[in-house]
């Protein structure tokens, strides 16, 4: 699914790309858990998954309260995030895994940090790089899954 909410954060900060390795190893900003975290694409915060202590879910809900004057009148808060487990991209407002070209640079940087021995991004093929191409809409396969 292509997501209209990512554009709200575009262009995604070079800071996230430059700090990918640091962000990938950062613990949850609320509880310190490091087992299954997500990166908020709006603010760069790192929070744990719904199956840990739900701090990314709580972050989205909390930021909705600060988003009452959203341009379209619908407060979405910080709704787009990337899983460190599988580098999937989730949008709480769409309630779906999403594809969007604007996530590509951050995904590539996180992939390089997570898999430092993998082929460079320009020469990689198959596996995780195919998943990034799929996640950013660079192919025609809609994939699948759920969160």
Tens of pLDDT, residue by residue over 107-130, are 999 999 999 998 655 544 445 556
pTM above threshold 0.85: no
Beta bridge partners of 82: 39, 89
Give the pLDDT of residue 142: 39
- Helix (H) / strand (E) element for 106: namely helix 104-114
Domain 6-135 has CATH 3.90.1210.10: no
Mean pLDDT of the chain: 83
Q: What is the pLDDT of residues 28-71, one digit of tens each?
A: 999 999 999 999 999 999 999 999 999 999 999 999 988 776 66
The sign of the torsion formed by the CA atoms of 88, 2, 71, 147 equals negative
Residue 7, pLDDT score: 83
**Do strands 37-40 and 96-97 pair parallel, antiparallel, or not at all (unpaired)?**
unpaired
Give every strand in the sheet of 80-83, ordered side by side. 46-48, 37-40, 80-83, 89-91, 96-97
Domain boundaries along the sequence of the chain: 6-135
């Amino acid at each position: 699914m292509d997501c209209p909410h990512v554009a709200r954060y575009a262009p995604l900060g070079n800071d996230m790309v430059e700090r990918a390795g640091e962000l990938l190893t950062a613990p949850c900003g609320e509880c310190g858990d490091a087992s299954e975290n997500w990166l908020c694409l709006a603010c760069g915060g790192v929070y744990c998954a719904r199956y840990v202590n739900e701090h990314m879910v709580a972050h989205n809900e909390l930021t909705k309260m600060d988003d009452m004057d959203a341009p379209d009148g619908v407060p979405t808060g910080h709704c787009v995030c990337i899983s460190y487990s599988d580098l999937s991209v989730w949008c709480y407002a769409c309630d779906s895994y999403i594809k969007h070209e604007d996530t590509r640079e951050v995904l590539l940087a996180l992939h390089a940090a997570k898999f430092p021995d993998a082929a460079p991004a320009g020469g990689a093929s198959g596996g995780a790089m195919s998943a990034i191409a799929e996640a950013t809409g660079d192919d025609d396969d809609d994939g699948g899954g759920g969160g």
